[in-house]
Amino acid sequence: MVTPAVSNPAPSLLDRLVLPTSGAWANDARRAALARFRDMGFPGRRDEYWRFAGGEDFAAPEPEEAPILDMQGEAPVFSGLERLKFSFRDGRFEGDLPALPEGLEVSRLSDAGQQDLHWARDLYGVLEAAGQSPVARPFAALNTAFAGDGLLIRVTGKVALPLSLIYCHDDPRSDAMLHHVLRLEPGAELTLLENGPAAARLNTVLEVDVADGARFHHVRAQGRDHGRRAITHLFARLAKESVFKSFTLTVNGAHTRNESVVEFTGDDAVAHLAGAAMGDGRMGDFTHDDTVFITHGAENCESRQVYKKVLMNGAVGVFQGKILVKEGAQKTDGYQKSQALLLDEDSTFLAKPELEIYADDVACSHGSTSGGIDEEALFYLRSRGVPAAEAQDLLVLAFLSDAMEEIEDAAIIEDITSRLEAWLARRRAG
Amino acid sequence: MLKIKGLKVKLEAEDKEILKGVDLDVPAGAVHAIMGPNGSGKSTLSYVLAGREGYEVTEGSATLDGQDLLDMAPEERAAAGLFLAFQYPVEIPGVGNMTFLRTAVNSQRKLRGEEELSAAEFLKLVRAEAKKLRIDADMLKRPVNVGFSGGEKKRNEILQMAMLQPRMCILDETDSGLDVDAMKLVAEGVNGLRDAGRSFLVITHYQRLLDHIKPDVVHIMAAGRIVRTGGPELALEVEHNGYADILSEVA
């Protein structure tokens, strides 16, 4: 294990946090996670995966204030969809659990200790712990130890309605840790939606265990508050013939780091991870980091990473993506694409694509590019009467389109696209 | 309609003069052709008129119905009625052909202060025009020009022309990369648009396109100037004798 040097700032966030007590098995998991964290400590700039964008703001004892964005009457994303809603405010679940359809069981993490949820006990902090090697993810261990709330979700059938986690925040100084675990039993299907800023500073862990032949589809839209900071972790374990698709939209936000750690443990499974990020430094600081680690530990699995970033006026984009193909993981088909569209000379894209392969019959590749707007296409559009600014917006959306295509539901693509259009139009209007 | 006077243009990057004083007058309803050897400045002329960057006009003027074209942004030229059918239509991955067409049509209408077309009106129009050019639903759905054959790209240019209804159409080597059948289809599309209020400037290296799109006037361009102007017979002369005779004559 790569262990970052212990460099706890003083006073430390750790001093301020209190271990929640939510029952026997959860308490054990939390204590184990705290021990893991203490071994690692907070990351420093010399740590391999924290060089491009450091985590000082995630480790600070108090979050920086994040003013609440005035949405000016705009309905939140996914509003038009029929879905099962679960709301959190500043990191706390609010309201009652909705009536659940057949094939779906949901409990709150805070109630978990009183219930004998074997499957949850076998999952909470387990995929996180496994994901600490070979690369340490200290904030994920911290989360497992201290998460204040979250859901334990078990899917035993094909659930037609999406399960929707809605993250609101009212407190410009809120600091939240959410930890969800999700188990899809063999053949089960679920779409999970997440949206909203959640808190001024957010740390999330989502552990997803996808059993044989199960299908999981995840679409996330991180809130547009300019000052918000978020470090998210997605740990997934994919069994035989399972399908896993995850898409994240990030617009605005002072600092976002989305870590995804996926392991294929069964043959013939598919994992697609995609992200579209757009930041304008003129509106506020913007640093966006996608850090992905995919381990092919089984045969004939397909992994795709499609990450696209549109950066302007000093915005910073980071991509650190790795595909590890273990010995024996023959017929692996792995591809990663990370691209940045830099709309000016002030913005920065830092990319670190990695392939590590120990099997001899695999197809793995990566493509990482950064560049400006295609001048030929821009002129072509203008010569047809499309004004320069609108033509540029059209090309920006076109650039993001192959990440968007990883979303399976056309209505969601349309919903997200119309918001991106509106964002671009507002930006143009100044 | 289109009046070009003493137009001199150089490449910004190279300080190299490409057009060395071009004079041209295309009246309303007329079809003019410009022929000339490679490197004579034909395509540069079309790009300068459409407003592509990278060129510097050092002298002369170009007007469309009295409006100074050279002072306008490319989109304003388009809204004023100028259309360039590209020699190499640009591929735009991620932008659906239909979205592209609707955005173009409505952008121009907006720039002209006209009402935008509704989705239904647009759809009806585009289906009718696409049918004439044998452009199927799939080609309308695909990203602009991506994976199109040479012929499909050129048909797509003519479809844009038909949808935008420009008054001054410039066709830059529209015949390049076309087989005979595709050329006929493209020519039919163009001929269908000919009327008293619309003019064409057909730029071509070969005479064969002019068998299908019959010009009223043919100009020969060489070394950045129009060196001869005549009737359709001038194109036939080039076809039989090549450019050498004409060029040595004017040299």
Q: Is the pLDDT of residue A4 over 60?
A: no
Q: Is the pLDDT of residue A8 over 60?
A: no
Kindly determine whether residue A384 and residue B50, on different chains, have CB atoms separated by under 8 Å. no
Q: Is the peptide bond before A11 cis (omega within 30 degrees of 0)?
A: yes
3-state secondary structure (DSSP) of residue B146: coil
Q: What's the rounded mean pLDDT across residues A92-121?
A: 89
* Phi and psi angles of residue A193, each rounded to the nearest 5 degrees, phi first: -110, 140
pLDDT at A2: 53
Kindly determine whether residue A381 and residue B108, on different chains, have CB atoms separated by under 8 Å. no
pLDDT at B178: 87
CA atoms within 13 A on the CB side of A373: 21
B75 lies within 8 A of chain A by CB: yes
Q: What's the rounded mean pLDDT across residues B121-131?
A: 94
Optimal mutation site among A310, A341, A376, A383, interface B, most CBs of chain B within 10 A: A383
Q: Is the peptide bond before B166 cis (omega within 30 degrees of 0)?
A: no
Q: Is the pLDDT of residue A9 over 70?
A: no
Q: Is the pLDDT of residue A221 over 60?
A: yes
Q: Among A21-30, A154-163, B121-130, name the one with the lowest average pLDDT.
A: A21-30
Contact residues, chain B, for A376 at CB < 8 Å: 90
Segment 96-115 of chain B within 8 Å of chain A by CB? 99-100, 103-105, 107-108, 111
What is the H or E stretch that residue B182 is in?
helix B180-193
Q: Is the pLDDT of residue B5 over 60?
A: yes
pLDDT at B160: 97
Contact residues, chain B, for A385 at CB < 8 Å: 75, 78-79, 104-105, 107-108, 111, 164
How does pLDDT run across A81-91, given as a tens digit for each residue? 999 999 999 99
Contact residues, chain B, for A398 at CB < 8 Å: 92-95, 143
- Tokens for B132, please give them: 């004439």
Residue B62 near residue B25 (C-beta atoms within 8 A):
no
Q: Is the pLDDT of residue A3 over 60?
A: no
Kindly determine whether residue A385 and residue B100, on different chains, have CB atoms separated by under 8 Å. no
How does pLDDT run across B39-56, given as a tens digit for each residue? 899 999 999 999 999 999
A245 min Cα distance to partner chain B (Å):
21
pLDDT at A317: 98
- Tokens for A393, please give them: 């917006």
CA distance B221 to B219: 6
Contact residues, chain A, for B167 at CB < 8 Å: none
Q: What's the rounded mean pLDDT across residues A210-239?
A: 97
* Phi and psi angles of residue B143, each rounded to the nearest 5 degrees, phi first: -60, 150
A397 lies within 8 A of chain B by CB: yes
- A374: closest chain B residue by CA: B92
pLDDT classification of A288: cutoffs 50, 70, 90: very high
3-state secondary structure (DSSP) of residue B232: coil
B73 min Cα distance to partner chain A (Å):
8
Q: Is the pLDDT of residue A63 over 90?
A: yes
Q: Is the pLDDT of residue A298 over 70?
A: yes
Residue spans per domain, chain A? 13-372
Residue B13 near residue B54 (C-beta atoms within 8 A):
yes
Residue A418 near residue A74 (C-beta atoms within 8 A):
no
Q: Is the pLDDT of residue B247 over 90?
A: no
Q: What's the rounded mean pLDDT across residues A378-405?
A: 96
* 3-class SS letters over chain A: CECCCCCCCCCCHHHHCCCCCCCHHHHHHHHHHHHHHHHHCCCCCCCHHHCCCCCHHHHCCCCCCCCCCCCCCCCCCCCCCCCEEEEEECCEEECCCCCCCCCEEEEEHHHHHHCCCHHHHCCCCHHHHHCCCCECCHHHHHHHHHCCECEEEEECCECCCCEEEEEECCCCCCEEEEEEEEEECCCCEEEEEEEECCCCEEEEEEEEEECCCCEEEEEEEECCCCCCEEEEEEEEEECCCCEEEEEEEEECCCEEEEEEEEEECCCCCEEEEEEEEEEECCCCCCEEEEEEEEEECCCCCEEEEEEEEEEECCCEEEEEEEEEECCCCCCCEEEEEEEEEECCCCCEEEEEEEEEECCCCCEEEEEEEEECCCHHHHHHHHHCCCCHHHHHHHHHHHHHHHHHCCCCCHHHHHHHHHHHHHHHHHHHHC
Contact residues, chain B, for A402 at CB < 8 Å: 94
Kindly determine whether residue B53 and residue A379, on different chains, have CB atoms separated by under 8 Å. yes
A386 lies within 8 A of chain B by CB: yes
A372 min Cα distance to partner chain B (Å):
14
- A405: closest chain B residue by CA: B94
pLDDT at B77: 97
Contact residues, chain B, for A308 at CB < 8 Å: none
For residue B73, which of A142, A256, A379, A319 has the smallest C-alpha distance? A379
Residue A350 near residue A321 (C-beta atoms within 8 A):
no
Counting residues of chain A whose pLDDT is more than 90, the rounded percentage is 88
pLDDT at A248: 98
Q: Domains plus CATH for chain B? A: 2-250 (3.40.50.300)
pLDDT at A388: 96
Higher-confidence residue of A57 and A7: namely A57
Counting residues of chain A whose pLDDT is more than 70, the rounded percentage is 97
Q: What's the rounded mean pLDDT across residues A13-20?
A: 90
Give CA separation, B108 vs A219, A338, B39, B104, in Å.
37, 35, 33, 6
Residue A308 near residue A371 (C-beta atoms within 8 A):
no
Kindly determine whether residue A388 and residue B75, on different chains, have CB atoms separated by under 8 Å. yes
pLDDT classification of A73: cutoffs 50, 70, 90: confident
pLDDT at A6: 54
Q: What's the rounded mean pLDDT across residues B136-156?
A: 93
Kindly determine whether residue A394 and residue B52, on different chains, have CB atoms separated by under 8 Å. no
- B95: closest chain A residue by CA: A398
Of A384, A401, A402, the CB nearest to B104: A384
Optimal mutation site among B107, B109, B153, interface A, most CBs of chain A within 10 A: B107
How does pLDDT run across B62-119, given as a tens digit for each residue? 999 999 999 999 999 999 999 999 999 999 999 999 999 999 999 999 999 999 999 9
CA distance A193 to A151: 13
Q: Is the pLDDT of residue A167 over 50?
A: yes
CA distance B88 to B45: 15
A402 lies within 8 A of chain B by CB: yes
Kindly determine whether residue A387 and residue B111, on different chains, have CB atoms separated by under 8 Å. yes
pLDDT classification of A72: cutoffs 50, 70, 90: confident
Give CA separation, B149 vs A271, B18, B88, B155, in Å.
34, 31, 11, 10
Q: What's the rounded mean pLDDT across residues B178-189?
A: 89
Kindly determine whether residue A381 and residue B100, on different chains, have CB atoms separated by under 8 Å. yes
Q: What is the ipTM metric for this complex?
A: 0.96
